[in-house]
Structure 1
Amino acid sequence: MNDEQDLQEQAEAAGFDGAEDGAPEQDFSDLVKELEEVRQHVLYAQAETHNVRRRLEQEKLTAATYAATGFARDMLSVKDNLDRALAAVPEELRQDDKLKALLTGIEATSRELDSVFARNGVTRVEALGKALDPNRHQAMVEIPSDEAEPGTIVQEMQAGYMLKDRLLRPALVGVAKKG
């Protein structure tokens, strides 16, 4: 208000008495209102700019974190095939000297793939012996069981995987039911 008094005194000193049409006091109050409106618009624009910048930074971080999702999903089939190949070799063939080198190579490839997954945040979903979690497991069959609690996973048909905190693929499981 001190500024208003100073302006009013200056106007009176300059010979404005406020009796004319469009009095300086009225003009001044209109300018103050307009200035306040402009100030509010600037504050809103600054806040919106800040929000857009923050949202873009978050989207950029998310995109960088999960950029490999499609590639990781594709690599899961490679991991599945390596695991099936190793599981298909009978014990008597594992002792054969001619096949040992081949099996050693397949096992080394599987371990290296596990290592690459771990470095990139791809982890296997725990299933056997756990309670069914529909966010991580997909129940395919119910298996009668007297040993396991109903709703407990007793068989894993296909491993599930996570990329950091996102599900890449649910584990396909068999769940115990009362026998």
Structure 2
Amino acid sequence: MTDNETRPLDEAAQAELKGVPEELIDSAGNGEELVKLREELEAAKQDILYAKAETQNLRRRMEKDIADTRAYAATGFARDILSVADNLARALESIPADLRDDEKFRNLVAGLEATGREIEKVFAGHGISRIAATGLPLDPHQHQAMMEVPSADAEPGTVLQELQAGYMIKDRLLRPAMVAVAKKPD
């Protein structure tokens, strides 16, 4: 049989045609037009389902992007303010012990220490935390080895000294800790 020839429908198909308008059933009574319309309808339903799924996936991705943007919006500013925190810490470390006890400088030192604590509090409030380094094995995801130091006391690859503090912002690296790492003595 060719496509142009008409084929009679089985009883189940004829039962489905009951109540269908006459114009949808061709003159031979086999309802090929109706079958074609049903196939097109099923294809359209599938297309709609795929479009809905794609829209939902897009919405989820956008929500995640928005959440990430909110969580990490302060990254650039945080990197910039780290140098201020470093300079403050260096200033505090450079004050000799005899000046710390001097009545004239005691208030200055107390003010600098209070400023350092406030910076740490603000960092913590924004999810910025200092990376632990000294005494731990070198982690290339958090530490940047600046030099190797021969050591008989520490295992090779252990961080002996922190040259510059490293920081994380939530679960992302903000700045690696610059460290000196132990190596086997020569």
Same topology, TM > 0.5: yes
Equivalent position to 2:38, from 16, 19, 32 = 32
Q: Is the 8 A contact 2:149 2:180 kept in 1?
A: yes
Q: Tell me, yes or no, if the aligned pair for 1:155 and 1:175 is still in contact at 8 Å.
A: yes
Gaps of 5+ in 2: 1-9
* AA in 2 matched with 1:115: K
Number of corresponding residues: 176
Identify if the C-alpha distance between structure 1 residues 113 and 17 changes in structure 2 by more than 3 Å, giving closer, same or farther.
closer
Distance 1:2 1:128, change over 3 A: farther
Q: Cα–Cα, structure 1 residues 8 and 127, in superposed 2: closer, same or farther, change >3 Å?
A: same
- Structure 1 residue aligned with 2:120, among 95, 109, 114? 114
Query: Is 1:103 equivalent to 2:109 in the alignment?
Result: yes
Q: What is the aligned partner in structure 1 of residue 142 from structure 2?
A: 136
Partner of 1:164: 170
The SS at the match of 1:155 is: strand
Is the contact between residue 16 and residue 24 of structure 1 (CA under 8 Å) also seen in structure 2? no
> How high is the TM-score relative to the length of structure 1?
0.91
Give me the whole-angstrom Cα distance separating, in 2, the residues matched to 1:160 and 1:118: 14
Residues in 2 aligned to 1:84 and 1:146: alpha-carbon distance in whole angstroms: 30
Aligned to 1:9: 18
Offset at 1:25? 1.1
Aligned equivalents of 1:102 and 1:16: distance in 2? 94
Instruction: Verify: 1:94 aligned to 2:103, yes or no.
Output: no
CA distance in 2, matches of 1:27, 1:82: 82
Conserved? CA contact 2:25–2:33, under 8 Å: no
Determine if contact 2:24/2:34 at 8 Å carries over to the other structure: no
**Post-superposition shift, 1:79?**
0.6
Instruction: State the AA in 2 paired with 1:64.
Output: R
Q: Alignment identity in percent? A: 51
Deviation at 1:3, TM superposition (A): 8.8
Relative to structure 1, the CA distance from residue 142 to residue 49 in structure 2 (aligned partners, 3 Å threshold; closer, same or farther) is: same
Residues 11 and 24 of structure 1 are in contact (CA less than 8 Å); yes or no, is this contact kept in structure 2? no
Report the CA distance shift for 1:32/1:176 in structure 2 as closer, same or farther (over 3 A).
Answer: same
Rounded Cα–Cα distance in structure 2 between residues aligned with 1:55 and 1:34? 31
Counterpart for residue 178 of structure 1:
184
Q: How far 1:9 sits from its partner (Å)?
A: 3.5
What root-mean-square deviation, in Å, do the aligned CA atoms of Structure 1 and Structure 2 show?
A: 2.4
Distance in 2 (alpha carbons) for counterparts of 1:108 and 1:94: 14
SS at match of 1:167: strand
Gaps of 5+ in 1: none
Match of 1:67 among 35, 52, 73: 73
Structure 1 contact 138–171 (Cα < 8 Å) conserved: yes
Query: Where in structure 1 do 4 or more consecutive aligned residues deviate above 4 Å?
Result: 1-4, 14-20
Classify 1:24/1:80 alpha carbon distance in 2 versus 1 (closer, same or farther; 3 Å): same
Tell me how far apart the structure 1 counterparts of residues 23 and 121 of structure 2 sit (CA, whole Å). Answer: 87
**Residue deviations 1:11-39 (CA, integer Å, cap 9, x gap):** 69x6998545xx65111110111111111
